[in-house]
Amino acid sequence: MSENNDQKFVYDFTEGNRDLKDLLGGKGANLAEMTNLGLPVPPGFTITTEACKVYLESGSEPVELRDEVSAHLDALERKMGKKLGQADDPLLVSVRSGAKFSMPGMMDTVLNIGLSDESVVGLARQADNERFAWDSYRRLIQMFGKTVLDVDGELFEDALDEVKTAKKVASDTDLDAADLKKVVERFKEIVKAQTGRDFPQDPREQMDLAIEAVFNSWNTDRAKLYRRQERIPGDLGTAVNVCSMVFGNLGPDSGTGVAFTRDPASGHQGVYGDYLQNAQGEDVVAGIRNTVPLADLESIDKTSYDRLMHIMETLETHYKDLCDIEFTIERGQLWMLQTRVGKRTAGAAFRIATQLVDQGLIDEAEALQRVNGAQLAQLMFPKFDDDYAGGGKGAEQIGRGIAASPGAAVGKAVFDSYTAVKWSRSGEKVILIRRETNPDDLDGMIAAEGILTSRGGKTSHAAVVARGMGKTCVCGAEELEVDTKRRRMTTADGQVVEEGDVVSIDGSTGRVYLGEVPVVPSPVVEYFEGRMHAGADDADELVQAVHRIMAYADRVRRLRVRANADNAEDASRARRFGAQGIGLCRTEHMFLGERRQYVERLILADTDTEREDALKALLPLQKQDFVELFEAMDGLPVTVRLLDPPLHEFLPDITELSVRVALAESRKEPHENDLRLLQAVHRLHEQNPMLGLRGVRLGLVIPGLFTMQVRAIAEAAAQRIDAKGDPRAEIMIPLVGTVQELEIVREEAEQVIEEVRAQTGVDLKLALGTMIELPRAAVTAGQIAEAAEFFSFGTNDLTQTVWGFSRDDVEASFFTAYLEKGIFGVSPFETIDKDGVGALVRSAVEAGRATRPDIKLGVCGEHGGDPESVHFFHEVGLDYVSCSPFRIPVARLEAGRAAAESKGSDSR
Ligand code: PEP
Ligand code: MG
């Protein structure tokens, strides 16, 4: 880097602009932007992130930096008409960190640089305020001592307390100049004792040391942890802003405040913010005194107030968005210290985006960039009534865990999966409470309204599975002692919650209540369900905004969105939510319950006749399933996947069965059937079922299984056509690794379809394709496309097989450690691993299209509903994504955002 002689490491505020966030950090870029807009920003300069990177890589500042800083400091001194630390009238500066992404409170800032034993006197005279000068000096030594010289901050706090105690006062503001002089002396002694050197009196040395400290603060443990959590890359570095100081604590005609250009909770325009008279920024944060509403500034200092309102309007029109700002008034002069595009609630994001369209500030494509799928998902969960959830009658907060999957759930406490299923079948709402969950709890999790665990974090099994299901979950509520054996849990203060007691859990805050907290449904879901119309008089602003944004997204998106659904009810809901077909119908769900007996018979069959009988019994049931599904999705494609999981999943549990057989033997009761079952269970037992006899392999070794399913699909389609319907069935083969497997199944399937055609006289058109969910399939996609009319990427299995770990086994074991160590930014089961799994998808897309240009390409793994992954699938050119019904609106929105974004970048 430093070989590049043209590189500039320091930019005056007049030289940068808001597009230079990579180089100048967010704060620096926006200070420059405001400066160029002619707004009153205290002059200063920014040291680039590139300088920080050089420092972090090489351990020392770039050689050019010192001279560049000197030149900019000279210019600043000329502009201000005084020198840094000048004895009779010192220029003081702040040295502040500022990375590309905001990392609030994570890095260092030092204010009042330039004060020394000499210049403090000059400042007192200039400000005509001795107390103010000594207070500024003690703040400098304290901040500098702590952040630059690494002195334990408590030593300063203790010393300050001692002086206050000696004077018998409680507040810093009760100390006068003489007291503060004493504090400064004490602070200087602390510095000397702790560091072995005097507090530096040379202002330039103060500044240089502070700059270096800011560079170093990029790599503190807490900054690193924050970046990992927020998925901010670790190599960006921070910029350093050196800004001339302005003071809000010079008397009643001074003050400091924060403001929003509109309400960050509702998006409404108005005057939102807080002001604190005679104070500096830290005082506001520390909450030492109460702030007043910003509107009150009008009566305190009308000129500054009017000026501020005007500036806020300028900023909003310029940034075309809600901005938040920090300002200071120094003796009636308004100064802008910071601005940035402000954070807002999910609901406000949608409202603001449409308001700005209406104001003509942004277009629809830009509106789509102002919202995201995570916000939409947040708006779709039911919530506890805000007024109630803070406490109140009838329900009491008994604990708090990690907000793992949003939503609000109320139900009776149950402590095992079996009871959860049993009670929910009889119409009870239940909350499944476990220490932690494992795959055996899946049935219970499905049956429950929500899941509560006392152990595990955001990537525990409970959290990941619950999020996948869109189910409310609070995990890791450690103060709750869960005793599954005695079916109870005990709170920190010894209260016992028994099975059947009503509990309420809030997956958005992590709060756990005993008793029932009222839940309000999401109006956004009511809208998607068609129960509320955006045009209706009572439709609220939020619903109208969501409606408009969804319309923009649907208009521009290229990706189609389908649903993973395997019954008519889910299919209909998916359709209401905007699904354009079914991308994955998992037929294994049709083999459970009452029908399990036929599967058992199929597995136990000793003769062809026995097997055929079992299949014959299944055929009409399967056919009826498909008839209903095709009807619900009439006119839209329905991809039916032939049976995928290993057969033993349909057989009884090995231990239970062994016990039954042993008991029957000891009692000399007949147990012929159980014994045969047990033998079958042993025969089919696999060490690694995920990599065993499943998917297409099953179809190839169990004669008649796949053909029965194909026949059911074909006959159901024929029946629907007869009934004047428009079924668009697609048959999908799972877990294919080589084209030969597909060719064999294809030949058999075509034969069956031909038979059904002949029998029914209906001209059936059934597409036949495959899942691409094994690395070998992806690598040989060009060959496989010879036999497949479509590919659907099964990114769940593809992730497992590319990484070589099984989801069920590893999420609960080492994922947390991997996330903590930063090996994953996020679980690869949640967001597609672009470099690994994604690269295989990309190359298979290319190979598939090279063989068969009109091949249809989709994805049906969980990633199909994940915002970031949807953008990736758009980029690699898939035709559709398929996801669970509840995530369809999110996928539609993100597909629209991806399209709008790529259009934007094409035209740039
Ligand atoms: C997949 O593997 O991505 C997939 C959709 O199949 P399943 O999750 O049913 O194994
Ligand atoms: Mg799969």
Give the model confidence (pLDDT) of 132-166 as tens digits: 999 999 999 999 999 999 999 999 999 999 999 99
Give the pLDDT of residue 18. Answer: 95
Give the pLDDT of residue 90. Answer: 96
Question: Which residue out of 860, 863, 874, 883 is catalytically annotated?
Answer: 860
Does a structural domain hold residue 406?
A: yes
Number of domains composing the chain: 4
Point out which residues pair with 329 in neighbouring strands. 255, 334
CATH of the domain at 843: 3.20.20.60
Tell me: pLDDT of 39 over 50.
yes
176-198: average pLDDT: 96
Does a structural domain hold residue 230?
A: yes
719-739: average pLDDT: 98
Least confident of 147-156, 314-323, 816-825: 816-825
**Cα 685 to Cα 115: distance, rounded to the nearest angstrom:** 77
Q: Check if 441 has its Cβ closer than 6 Å to any atom of ligand 1.
A: no
Tokens (6 digits) for 125? 């005279």
Give the pLDDT of residue 579. Answer: 98
**For the chain, first and last CA: distance in Å?**
28
Based on the fold, state whether residues 700 and 584 are members of the same structural domain: yes
Instruction: Report the candidate in 831, 878, 896, 872 with the shortest Cα–Cα distance to residue 468.
Output: 831
Counting from 1 in the atom list of ligand 1, the atom nearest the Cα of 793 is: 3
Give the pLDDT of residue 3. Answer: 46
Give the pLDDT of residue 815. Answer: 81
Of 319, 344, 369, the residue at which a domain comes to its end is 344
Point out which residues pair with 771 in neighbouring strands. 792
Question: Which residue out of 72, 461, 547, 863 is catalytically annotated?
Answer: 461
Based on the fold, state whether residues 701 and 638 are members of the same structural domain: yes
How many angstroms from the chain centroid is the CA of residue 222? 20
Does a structural domain hold residue 129?
A: yes
**Cα 186 to Cα 184: distance, rounded to the nearest angstrom:** 5
Based on the fold, state whether residues 323 and 295 are members of the same structural domain: yes
Ligand in closest contact with the CA of 864? 1
Based on the fold, state whether residues 809 and 781 are members of the same structural domain: yes
The one-letter code for the residue type at 415 is F
Tell me: pLDDT of 53 over 60.
yes
Q: Check if 584 has its Cβ closer than 6 Å to any atom of ligand 1.
A: yes
Does a structural domain hold residue 353?
A: no
617-641: average pLDDT: 96
Based on the fold, state whether residues 302 and 279 are members of the same structural domain: yes
Tell me: pLDDT of 732 over 70.
yes
Please answer whether residues 298 and 308 qualify as being in contact, where contact means their C-beta atoms are separated by less than 8 angstroms. Answer: no
pLDDT over 70 for what percent of the chain?
95
Q: Whose CA is nearest to atom 9 of ligand 1?
A: 586
Phi then psi for 271, rounded to 5 degrees? -105, 105
**191 CA from centroid of ligand 2 (Å):** 63
**796 CA from centroid of ligand 2 (Å):** 6
Tell me: pLDDT of 5 over 90.
no
Does a structural domain hold residue 136?
A: yes
Q: Check if 796 has its Cβ closer than 6 Å to any atom of ligand 1.
A: yes
Based on the fold, state whether residues 147 and 185 are members of the same structural domain: yes
Domain that holds residue 432: 383-520
Instruction: Report the candidate in 263, 287, 264 with the shortest Cα–Cα distance to residue 276.
Output: 287
Strand intervals (E) in 250-381? 255-262, 269-277, 292-293, 323-330, 333-341
**474 CA from centroid of ligand 2 (Å):** 28
**795 CA from centroid of ligand 1 (Å):** 7
| From 644, 697, 797, mutation site for ligand 1 pocket: most ligand atoms within 8 A of C-beta | 797
Q: Check if 566 has its Cβ closer than 6 Å to any atom of ligand 1.
A: no
Of 520, 547, 578, the residue at which a domain comes to its end is 520
Does a structural domain hold residue 350?
A: no
Q: Check if 795 has its Cβ closer than 6 Å to any atom of ligand 1.
A: yes
Global confidence as pTM: 0.81
Q: Check if 307 has its Cβ closer than 6 Å to any atom of ligand 1.
A: no
Ligand in closest contact with the CA of 862? 1
Residues in the chain: 908
Tell me: pLDDT of 807 over 80.
yes
Does a structural domain hold residue 667?
A: no
704-709: average pLDDT: 96
**Cα 483 to Cα 481: distance, rounded to the nearest angstrom:** 6
Give the pLDDT of residue 286. Answer: 55
CATH of the domain at 290: 3.30.470.20
Based on the fold, state whether residues 199 and 265 are members of the same structural domain: no
Strand 496-498 and strand 488-490: the pairing is antiparallel
Q: What does the pLDDT look like over 225-246, one tens digit per residue?
A: 778 766 788 889 999 999 999 9
**Cα 224 to Cα 227: distance, rounded to the nearest angstrom:** 5
Give the pLDDT of residue 387. Answer: 67
Q: Whose CA is nearest to atom 1 of ligand 1?
A: 794
Which pLDDT band holds residue 906 (cuts at 50, 70, 90)? low
Does a structural domain hold residue 669?
A: no
Give the pLDDT of residue 106. Answer: 72
**10 Å Cβ neighbour count for 124?**
18
Between 863 and 388, name the one with better pLDDT: 863
30-46: average pLDDT: 98
Which pLDDT band holds residue 21 (cuts at 50, 70, 90)? very high
| From 469, 582, 586, 798, mutation site for ligand 1 pocket: most ligand atoms within 8 A of C-beta | 586
Counting from 1 in the atom list of ligand 1, the atom nearest the Cα of 797 is: 2
CATH of the domain at 143: 1.20.80.30
Is residue 860 annotated as part of the catalytic site, yes or no? Answer: yes
Of 215, 244, 273, the residue at which a domain comes to its end is 244
Average pLDDT, the chain: 91
Based on the fold, state whether residues 261 and 131 are members of the same structural domain: no
Point out which residues pair with 503 in neighbouring strands. 411, 514
Strand 519-520 and strand 292-293: the pairing is unpaired
Is residue 461 annotated as part of the catalytic site, yes or no? Answer: yes
Tokens (6 digits) for 558? 């290229």
Based on the fold, state whether residues 114 and 227 are members of the same structural domain: yes
**Cα 134 to Cα 140: distance, rounded to the nearest angstrom:** 10
Based on the fold, state whether residues 392 and 320 are members of the same structural domain: no
Q: Check if 284 has its Cβ closer than 6 Å to any atom of ligand 1.
A: no
Counting from 1 in the atom list of ligand 1, the atom nearest the Cα of 862 is: 3
Q: Check if 794 has its Cβ closer than 6 Å to any atom of ligand 1.
A: yes
Least confident of 133-142, 337-346, 617-626: 337-346
CATH of the domain at 425: 3.50.30.10
Which pLDDT band holds residue 1 (cuts at 50, 70, 90)? very low
Q: What does the pLDDT look like over 88-113, one tens digit per residue?
A: 999 999 999 999 988 776 778 899 99
Q: What does the pLDDT look like over 489-529, one tens digit per residue?
A: 999 999 999 999 999 999 888 999 999 999 888 899 999 99
Based on the fold, state whether residues 154 and 262 are members of the same structural domain: no
**Cα 271 to Cα 667: distance, rounded to the nearest angstrom:** 82
Tell me: pLDDT of 405 over 90.
no
Q: Check if 586 has its Cβ closer than 6 Å to any atom of ligand 1.
A: yes
Based on the fold, state whether residues 264 and 227 are members of the same structural domain: no
